[in-house]
């Protein structure tokens, strides 16, 4: 889904997120989210445990090699 959908903030500062957006992001009712600013935008991401992150990325290849300068902590 690449369509942009309009939402409106209520007087008590609540936003209804369209179901299609929630479905596309895989967000379930009652799921905890983390809100953060990215520039002048608001980003909501699932608040995942490390176990949930591992499950989501299981099977992902991580055979890249970091630059030595990335590892230098002195």
In this predicted structure, what is the pLDDT of residue 56? 83
What the block records as the tokens of 1 is 């889904």
pLDDT digits (tens, 9 = 90+) for 26-65: 899 999 999 999 999 999 988 989 998 888 888 888 777 7
In this predicted structure, what is the pLDDT of residue 30? 92
- The pLDDT of residue 74 is above 90: no
Per-residue 3-state assignment (H helix, E strand, C coil) for 27-47 = CCCCCCEEEEEECCEEEEEEC
Whole-prediction pTM: 0.58
Q: State how far the Cα of 4 lies from the Cα of 67, in Å rounded to an integer.
A: 38
Q: State how far the Cα of 46 lies from the Cα of 74, in Å rounded to an integer.
A: 34
In this predicted structure, what is the pLDDT of residue 39? 92
Is residue 21 within a helix (H) or strand (E), and if so which, with residue range?
Answer: helix 19-25
Strands 41-46 and 33-38, by their bridges, are antiparallel
């Amino acid at each position: 889904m690449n369509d942009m959908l309009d939402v409106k903030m209520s007087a008590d500062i609540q936003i209804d997120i369209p179901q299609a957006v929630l479905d596309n992001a895989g967000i379930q009712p009652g799921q905890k989210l983390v809100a953060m600013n990215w520039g002048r935008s608001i980003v909501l991401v699932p608040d995942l445990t490390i176990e949930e992150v591992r499950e989501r990325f299981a099977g992902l290849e991580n055979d890249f090699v970091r630059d030595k300068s990335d590892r230098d902590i002195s």
